[in-house]
Structure 1
Amino acid sequence: MSIQSDPLKFRRTENDSIHDEKINSLAPHPKKWDIVWREVIIFTIFHITAIRGLYLFITVAKWQTCIFAFVLYIATTTSVTVGAHRLWSHKAFQAKLPLQIILLFFFTMAFQYSAVIWARLHRMHHKYLDTDADPHNAGRGFFFSHIGWMLIKKHPEYRAHKVDISDLMRDPLLRFQHKHYWEVLFIICFLIPTYIPTLWGEQASTAFYTCVCLRYICALHAIWLVNSAAHMWGTKPYDKNIRPVETKVVSLLAAGEGFHNYHHTFPWDYRIAEFGGYSLNTGRLFIDIMAKIGWAYNLKSVPDELIRKRVKRTGDGTHPIWGWDDPDLPLEERRMSIIK
């Protein structure tokens, strides 16, 4: 059996911190989909209204409305990648109260359920990567990892609350959002984005379809691509034995999240990538700006020496510095390399 088809086999020999008994005792996720029809109906309706929003965006929406919708797209995707992901799921940095409020406000507008639920799902993803308990296991194909996992009942391991989120529940802001999510959702996600464009004369219906529905679906698919495409098509310069890959297109759409092989190798790094710069990692740009004004602090990152050692130990050879194209690679080693 290959490493690709049995990733846990490699992980147990490569990383002694994996608990064999925990993995081996996992209940298999039923391959027959136990569909949650409520979710199917909701997502179907939103996709239909998003198509209507795209038509209005192109034909009749005022330019101010188009810009506003794009700004909301940037703000909501950033709130997911910087807030729910790097701040709350991984504790990659800490944030002062004003920044926490801003991130939580736009994360609520992103309509991806409470930050506590999002972080619990993501911690499950890291804990059970490439297993049946991985909520969006890419081993089950693109459709499942992209959207299908949202339409079925979750694995028993998730429903049993096996991941610790006590740190999140001690946060009064997150606890409030989790408890009152559906009440504040209507105001922040639906009412405010619909009302604001009317201040410059936009029709409320046009604002709703473009700034709520179209913006929501576009942002949702950008984040979903991290679960699907960023686990399938790309390079693995840091760890060739896991599914997550490096894909710049996803990074462009999702505030830097496409550098996923790096992230799963070093999940505590607030930069979430080694390369790409600010143009492909606007999430890092945002955090660095917040750090400059004192709203973000304790930014965690990985030293170059640790990255170099990991690349040489488990990388696939595509790293631009320590990979095959490394100009410091001895000529003799290059000649002795086997290329199939």
Structure 2
Amino acid sequence: MSNKGAKSLMNGEGKIPSCDGTEESSSGSVAERSEGKVGRREEIVWRNVILMTLLHVGAVYSLYLIPKAHLFTLIWAYLCFLVTALGVTAGAHRLWSHRSYKAKLPLRIFLALANSMAFQNDIFEWARDHRVHHKYSETDADPHNAQRGFFFAHIGWLFVRKHRDVIEKGRKLDFSDLLDDPVVWMQRKYYKSSVVLMCFVIPTLVPWYFWGETLWNSYFLASILRYTISLNVAWLVNSAAHMYGNRPYDKNINPRQNALVTIGAIGEGFHNYHHTFPFDYSASELGLKFNPTTWFIDFMFWLGLVTDRKQAPMEIIQARKERTGDGSS
């Protein structure tokens, strides 16, 4: 999954041009990578480093508060985590980045609000970077190129300015469909206020108002700890799922099938499959595999809020396994 990481905290890392052709900030001293080795000096964005450090320190402190919290607060924090995850997996990723299914207006509004709770950049920027990631995976044009190591793919990419290839290659892709959706446009316009409300205010106030939890516990557990965990789970799709696991569908690409990432990221760890068949709404072979995001989309289909789910035909999947897979499944 791409895009990813709390870049909304961080506007200094450099941006891909917006869909109207105007270029957002892309300053930074970078040089070409030669022969696949990193030989450039990075310009560190210290504000991002400091903010992410403080966030993780706050999350560690939050662990100390767990025994003191009301059980309902912990349940609420987990529910917020699930909503947060769906805003990325079912929303920014499978719906808006890949157009793997169509969603009616009420569902799109819910997913946009859930995406604001995720605080990983607005839908437009998340989907934009993710499309660049797929188009140029594991090159300098990939925002979180896993060839540069686990740390860079996980969080380090947020600590430095974007490589100029991310910006230059990104100019060549068409993102106009994203802002043709009024839900995407509205969320982008009011993103900061929606993040404050969805990521911090509502998660904090609900436990305090409904069962008398302290605001301190509510804030650190339902906001800070939940947010930090959700970020790291999303980042694992960029790092662990691009480095560790088997490749039953295409052994010639980096993304892997990673069971632990699948569990944490509610179905996004079938990454070798996803990069082989990115249009498939399930992001995995359908069946009894653990994929809560697919279950959610299927439930929305049953309710009539989802249409046009795209799937890779089983005969195509099997043929691809035999032709390019590593034989592991």
Instruction: Provide TM-score, normalisation by structure 1.
Output: 0.83
How far does residue 198 in structure 1 lie from its aligned partner after superposition? 0.6
Q: Give CA deviations for 1:198-239 in whole Å, capped at 9, x if unaligned.
A: 121000011000000000011111111100000111100000
**1:100 and 2:100 matched:** no
The equivalent residue for 2:268 is 257
How far does residue 158 in structure 1 lie from its aligned partner after superposition? 3.0
Q: 2-side partners of 1:207 and 1:191: how far apart?
A: 10
How far does residue 178 in structure 1 lie from its aligned partner after superposition? 1.2
Q: Match for 2:186 among 167, 176, 185?
A: 176
Q: 1-side partners of 2:40 and 2:113: how far apart?
A: 37
Q: 2-side partners of 1:276 and 1:305: how far apart?
A: 15
How far does residue 247 in structure 1 lie from its aligned partner after superposition? 0.8
The equivalent residue for 1:197 is 207
Q: 2-side partners of 1:40 and 1:120: how far apart?
A: 23
Contact 2:87–2:114 (CA under 8 A) maintained in structure 1: yes
AA aligned opposite 1:52: Y
Q: 2-side partners of 1:31 and 1:145: how far apart?
A: 17
Q: 1-side partners of 2:126 and 2:231: how far apart?
A: 13
Q: Match for 1:80 among 61, 78, 88?
A: 88
The equivalent residue for 2:253 is 242
Q: 2-side partners of 1:313 and 1:27: how far apart?
A: 34
The equivalent residue for 2:12 is none
Runs of 5+ unmatched residues, structure 2:
1-30
Q: Match for 1:312 among 297, 322, 326?
A: 322
The equivalent residue for 1:3 is none
The equivalent residue for 1:219 is 230
- After TM superposition, the runs of 4+ consecutive aligned structure 1 residues lying more than 6 A away are none
Look up the SS of the partner of 1:52 in the other structure. helix
Q: 2-side partners of 1:68 and 1:30: how far apart?
A: 46
How far does residue 276 in structure 1 lie from its aligned partner after superposition? 6.5
Look up the SS of the partner of 1:105 in the other structure. helix
Instruction: Provide TM-score, normalisation by structure 2.
Output: 0.86
Identity %: 48
Q: Match for 2:48 among 36, 39, 44?
A: 39
AA aligned opposite 2:182: P
How far does residue 170 in structure 1 lie from its aligned partner after superposition? 1.3
Inter-CA distance 35–276: structure 2 relative to 1 (3 Å threshold): farther
Instruction: Tell me the C-alpha RMSD between the 2 structures.
Output: 1.5
Q: Match for 1:270 among 253, 260, 281?
A: 281
The equivalent residue for 1:206 is 217
Q: 2-side partners of 1:30 and 1:81: how far apart?
A: 34
Contact 2:87–2:117 (CA under 8 A) maintained in structure 1: no
Contact 2:248–2:326 (CA under 8 A) maintained in structure 1: yes
1:136-155 alignment, distance < 5 Å: 136-155=144-163
Q: 1-side partners of 2:251 and 2:86: how far apart?
A: 28
Which structure has the larger Rg over C-alpha atoms?
Answer: 1
How far does residue 35 in structure 1 lie from its aligned partner after superposition? 1.1
Q: 1-side partners of 2:234 and 2:286: how far apart?
A: 20
How far does residue 183 in structure 1 lie from its aligned partner after superposition? 2.1
**Which is worse superposed, 28-37 or 43-52?**
28-37
Q: 1-side partners of 2:286 and 2:304: how far apart?
A: 25
Q: 1-side partners of 2:32 and 2:104: how far apart?
A: 40
1:5-84 alignment, distance < 5 Å: 28=33, 31-57=40-66, 59-84=67-92
Equivalent pairs counted in the alignment come to 292
Q: Give CA deviations for 1:24-44 in whole Å, capped at 9, x if unaligned.
A: xx9547632211111111111
The equivalent residue for 2:16 is none
Q: 2-side partners of 1:159 and 1:196: how far apart?
A: 41
Q: 2-side partners of 1:255 and 1:158: how far apart?
A: 28
Q: Give CA deviations for 1:292-335 in whole Å, capped at 9, x if unaligned.
A: 0110110000001101111111000112xxxxxxxxxxxxxxxx
How far does residue 177 in structure 1 lie from its aligned partner after superposition? 1.2
**1:185 and 2:198 matched:** no
Q: Give CA deviations for 1:90-119 in whole Å, capped at 9, x if unaligned.
A: 000010111111111111011101011111
**Which is worse superposed, 268-277 or 133-142?**
268-277
Q: Give CA deviations for 1:29-77 in whole Å, capped at 9, x if unaligned.
A: 76322111111111111111111212112x2110010000011111111
